[in-house]
């Protein structure tokens, strides 16, 4: 029975045809490769084990802290899974982070923010908001 199923799958998927399982090569131009590299480049590096931040000398303290935020809110704060942060006032952002840190339900995705904000100190929140204002 096993062999019958295997043969049936091979016939249905076209196994044996030269083009069925061959990878297709993508020929991108140098400009396309440069655009891809720009989209995926890190905007800072964090060494979690040693809690050492390696970033530009003129970086704001909140920039390294924002790396976790960028996963949902976008590298430039424009939103994604989470809402856009760019354009919000400092008071609004501080209020929301404090509410999440206190375990309050603010919206439908509050449960995603409770653990994130729960780890932040007042200084962390201030640093994050100052960095977000520069985006």
Q: What is the mean pLDDT of residues 105-124?
A: 90
Of residues 47 and 130, more confidently modeled: 130
Residue 40 lies in a domain: yes
What is the value of pTM for the model shown?
Answer: 0.56
What was the pLDDT predicted at 103?
A: 93
pLDDT in tens, 50-66: 555 555 556 778 888 89
What was the pLDDT predicted at 11?
A: 60
Residue 58 lies in a domain: yes
Residues 6+ apart with CB under 8 A from 133: 90
The residue range of the domain holding 97 is 28-132
Closest C-alpha among 33, 51, 34, 54 to residue 43: 54
What was the pLDDT predicted at 108?
A: 85
Residue 15 lies in a domain: no
Hey, what are 25's tokens? 């090569």
Residue 93 lies in a domain: yes
Residue 105: which CATH number? 1.10.760.10
**DSSP classification of residue 108:** T
Residue 8 lies in a domain: no
Residues of the chain with pLDDT > 90, as a percent, come to 30
Q: What is the mean pLDDT of residues 88-102?
A: 94
Residue 3 lies in a domain: no
Three-class SS of residue 134?
Answer: coil
What was the pLDDT predicted at 78?
A: 92
Count how many domains the chain has.
1
Residue 14 lies in a domain: no
Count other C-beta atoms under 10 Å from residue 26's C-beta: 6
Write the DSSP assignment of 13-64 as a string of letters.
HTBTBTTTSPPPP----HHHHHHHHHHH--S-EEETTTTEEE--TT--HHHH
pLDDT band at 34 (very low <50, low <70, confident <90, very high): confident
């Amino acid at each position: 029975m096993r062999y019958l199923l295997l043969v049936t799958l091979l016939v249905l998927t076209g196994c044996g045809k030269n083009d069925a399982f061959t990878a297709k090569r993508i020929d991108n131009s140098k400009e396309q490769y440069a655009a891809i590299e720009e989209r995926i480049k890190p905007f800072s590096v964090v060494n979690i084990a040693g809690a050492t931040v390696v970033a530009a000398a003129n970086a704001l303290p909140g920039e390294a802290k924002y790396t976790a935020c960028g996963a949902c809110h976008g590298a430039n704060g424009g939103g994604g899974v989470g809402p856009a942060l760019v354009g919000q006032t400092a008071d609004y952002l501080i209020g929301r982070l404090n509410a999440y840190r206190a375990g309050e339900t603010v919206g439908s995705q509050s449960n995603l923010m409770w653990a994130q904000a729960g780890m932040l100190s007042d200084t962390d929140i201030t640093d994050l908001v100052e960095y977000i204002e520069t985006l």
